[in-house]
Structure 1
Amino acid sequence: MAEVMVRDGRFSRMLADAAIKEARRGSSSESRIVKPVPDIDTSANTLQTPDRLVHVLTTFSSPRIVVLGNVLSDDECDALCAYTEQRLTRSPVVGDTDGGTQLHAHRTSKGAMLGRGETELIARIDARLAAIARWPVQNGEGLQVLRYEKGNEYRAHYDWFDPDQPGPRKHLEHGGQRVGTFVLYLCDVDEGGGTSFPNLGLEVQPRKGNAVFFRNTDDYGSPDRQTLHAGAPVVSGIKFVANKWLRERAY
């Protein structure tokens, strides 16, 4: 562009400004730093954790999505559902303005937040997921167990916090961004209730003991809009899942 900045012996301010902006964009791109992120070793079709052999069922590279089998035993699924049954309340969402929780028609499940390591069972699951994702236990939020009845759903949304919104931005102060998500399926569902990724044409069906993992950010730590996902409506039966969010720092 430099050779066209002078026309008929005159300096073109517009072209010069454009050249400066282009140079800055290039410099910014080159200086971006790849950040550590949770990820799963999918070089084989099984993963040996300290206490369980997990199956790698399906993988996607961009965005990073891994469908896993045998993550939890039937007994672990049943125990987690029973433990939270009496604690379930209507599931909220994070407000854009103040960062507080609020009820929204887009999310109609009931849920309960559990403390990290709250029981021996929960501590075991926390440790197993940390091993699968190769990410520190202390960087994980506590499990969130959700119950969906017929017609309940969670419409398309992101798990990452939007740094441009004042409410979600407050949540970045403690633990940083949500860089990864596990959705654990605690029961089979008669019909419906899958985890769908509308931009990808992908829907993961709920199977007891299975899980789906996805990265919420790109290699540079920026929110990945390809991770738009939804909990499809339950058509028949009941759906129990547990969410595990991984932060970029200790939480």
Structure 2
Amino acid sequence: MNAQTRTDQLLTPEVLAWMTAQAAQGHSKEEIFNAMLAAGWHADAAAQAVQLTAEELAAVVVPALALPLTHNMVDAGDKWVEVLFFAQVPNVIVLGNLLGPSECEALIEAATPRLARSLTVDAKTGGEELNADRTSEGMFFRRGENPIVQQVEARIARIFGWPQENGEGLQVLRYGPGAEYKPHYDYFDPAEPGTPAILQRGGQRVATLIMYLHEPEEGGATVFPDIELRVEPRRGNAVFFSYPQALPSSRTLHGGEPVIVGEKWIATKWLRERLFT
């Protein structure tokens, strides 16, 4: 049997279809794993993939870079965006010049009057709560709320091949000196009692895009402890990561280091499995 050769290590529909067909033909997980290794898959990615059940195989499709690269650049339709970094396991992409200076300022200006202490999802009830691990101020735009939000959302949808309606509204956050967000996962923990209620609005989160609107003078990096990656906040740049399974094995633990001097402003876009209402 010949595995789907992948250089990006993503569970695309083609890869999932191949795995499903191999399982249906009676091939063991070990045989599928070995075939994937022979095709160039990273061992960690292959090991995660073969642990999926038949139902999970049918369900797992996540956002990914949907545009071809031209000298490490992608044509986002209204501008060219640079790919500064690409990790395979997990799928992490750092983009340069995703937003222009005027777009960053417009988002900050529109968000400022509505800032309030940031809340997190309460996994026990499905509601929201104050969390000592998150010491920022923030607000949410409604999806497509104004022209600048529409412009940014359309660009994101084109780059990652994910429908705009499958995304939550943009969240803008301000981190002042000392503010941070300790390492956490963005998916909703299936073991928590409040998760079923949360998933009714659009299914699981499957990817995150963090866009830097204003960079502090010092501090505020986005860190991924599991893969020892540190992304400095640079205005207009962004970091994207996807998580096919809502498990720590996704290796998407991440956090925002404390701001030391100045302010950090970011806009976060969470992508869901299906229509987010």
The TM-score by the shorter chain falls in which range?
A: 0.7 to 0.9
1:144-163 deviation per Cα after TM superposition (whole angstroms, max 9, x unaligned): 00000000000011100111
Residue 257 of structure 2 aligns with which residue? 232
Distance 2:52 2:123 in 1: 29
1:129 corresponds to 2:153 = no
> Which of 217, 223, 236 is 1:190 aligned to?
217
1:195-246 deviation per Cα after TM superposition (whole angstroms, max 9, x unaligned): 100111111000000000000224xx76754100001100111000000000
Q: Which runs of 5+ in 1 are unaligned?
A: 1-22
Residue 230 of structure 2 aligns with which residue? 203
1:113 corresponds to 2:140 = yes
Match of 1:186, SS state, is: strand
Query: Is 160-169 or 45-54 further displaced after alignment?
Result: 160-169
Does the 8 Å CA contact 1:179/1:247 hold for their aligned counterparts?
yes
Residue 167 of structure 1 aligns with which residue? 194
Distance 2:271 2:253 in 1: 17
Distance 2:98 2:51 in 1: 41
Change (3 A) 1:224 1:128: farther
Residue 151 of structure 1 aligns with which residue? 178
- Which amino acid in structure 2 is aligned with residue 169 of structure 1? P
Match of 1:184, SS state, is: strand
Distance 1:236 1:131 in 2: 35
Distance 1:56 1:229 in 2: 20
1:46 corresponds to 2:73 = yes
Q: Which runs of 5+ in 2 are unaligned?
A: 1-25, 30-49
1:129 Cα deviation after fit = 0.5
1:172 Cα deviation after fit = 1.0
Larger radius of gyration: 1
1:249 corresponds to 2:274 = yes
> Which of 113, 119, 131 is 1:104 aligned to?
131
> Which of 31, 51, 55 is 2:82 aligned to?
55
Report the identity percentage: 45
TM-score by length of 1: 0.85
Distance 1:232 1:30 in 2: 36
Does the 8 Å CA contact 1:216/1:224 hold for their aligned counterparts?
no
Residue 77 of structure 1 aligns with which residue? 104
1:168 Cα deviation after fit = 2.8
Distance 1:134 1:195 in 2: 24
TM-score by length of 2: 0.77
Does the 8 Å CA contact 1:56/1:68 hold for their aligned counterparts?
yes
Distance 1:183 1:149 in 2: 17
1:95-123 deviation per Cα after TM superposition (whole angstroms, max 9, x unaligned): 12111111011000000011010001100
Distance 2:221 2:68 in 1: 23
Greater RCO, CA 8 A, separation 6+: 1
1:142 Cα deviation after fit = 0.4
- Which amino acid in structure 1 is aligned with residue 273 of structure 2? E
Match of 1:123, SS state, is: helix
Distance 2:106 2:93 in 1: 25
Runs of 4+ in 1 over 2 A off after TM superposition: 25-32, 41-44, 221-225
